[in-house]
Amino acid sequence: MAGGPTGGERYGIIGLYHTTNSGKTWIQALNAPRGGQYNYVPAISFANQQTGIVTGGSITSQPSGGVVYLTQDSGTSWKSIPMQSPDPAHWTLTALLSPQFSTPNDGAFTAAFHATATEGVTGVPAGQGFSVFSTHDGGQTWTSSPIVNVGVVGGATDTRFFNARQGYTLAFIGQVGQLALYTTSDGGQHWNSTALKLPDQTPTYRAGLPDFTSLTTGWTLLAYQSGTQVYPTSLYTTVDGGQTWTRIHAHFPSFITPQPAS
């Protein structure tokens, strides 16, 4: 998974591991893609046993672009594929988020951008945006969809494609905590957005990022936060793309223990 930087942190790729027994043991591969430092945690996705990609956020030495690493021999060798903004005059690429393959040939990841124009004397970028980069030849070539402007504050945080055309992106919009669902049925060329009204949220009861299994059906977990501990309290589902939510399970087994807040 890709994660955001805090406090000026930088990330690098130091190793690649694989498992052949459902995660019971892991073996370090002989080679891993080597680059520079990244603004986001590198993320990985394999289409099959041979073909996989690693995405890194913007390379610190090349702040206007990112990079995709492709292997077609189970990680023995890697090809570096630079990624650039489809509209560099107006948008700067800042991060490549988690990739995924829906078939051995079809894959996608979301790229985050900020506007090159700024607002007022603070120099804050005039917009945050995202674009979906997709491949239909196993990662050899990538095309980007038009950039979607989500507003001055916010940005994309998660994406999933169910096939080559249908998928969604979750993005924070406007004020912190306001989450929107963007859905596409044409590979990211056009998007429909819905401001998610997640259930029963208060300063101490917060909903996690929803997980959708189709463009309309999704799930989210509501949890109670006390200090640094988070206690799951209830599970909700939606069948209308996040417009309404129904609680389906209000009590959890005793073996679910609190997890530290992130």
Contact between 112 and 125 under an 8 Å Cβ cutoff? The reply is no
CA geometry: angle 49, 51, 170, nearest 5 deg? 105
pLDDT grade for 26, boundaries at 50, 70 and 90: confident
Question: Could you tell me which residues come within 8 angstroms of residue 10 by beta carbon, excluding any fewer than 6 positions away?
Answer: 37, 38, 39, 60
Question: In degrees to the nearest 10, what's the CA dihedral of 124, 197, 161, 81?
Answer: 10
Contact between 35 and 56 under an 8 Å Cβ cutoff? The reply is yes
Contact between 119 and 126 under an 8 Å Cβ cutoff? The reply is yes
Q: How far apart are alpha carbons 39 and 58 in whole angstroms?
A: 6
Q: Tell me where in the chain the CATH 2.120.10.10 domain(s) lie.
A: 1-195
- The token pair at 228 is 């640094």
In this model, does residue 171 exceed pLDDT 70? yes
pLDDT in the model for residue 119: 67
Stated pTM of the model: 0.76
Q: What percent of the chain has pLDDT over 70?
A: 75
Considering the four listed CATH numbers 2.60.120.10, 3.50.50.60, 2.120.10.10, 2.60.40.1260, the one that applies to the domain covering 1-195 is 2.120.10.10
pLDDT tens digits for 145-164?
888 888 777 788 888 888 88
Q: How far apart are alpha carbons 236 and 221 in whole angstroms?
A: 6
The single-letter DSSP state of residue 168 is E
pLDDT tens digits for 75-111?
888 888 888 888 888 888 888 888 888 888 888 888 8
Q: How far apart are alpha carbons 92 and 204 in whole angstroms?
A: 36
Q: How far apart are alpha carbons 98 and 141 in whole angstroms?
A: 17
pLDDT in the model for residue 250: 60
Beta bridge partners of 201: none
Question: Could you tell me which residues come within 8 angstroms of residue 128 by beta carbon, excluding any fewer than 6 positions away?
Answer: 112, 113, 114, 115, 149, 150, 151, 152, 153, 154, 155
pLDDT in the model for residue 185: 92
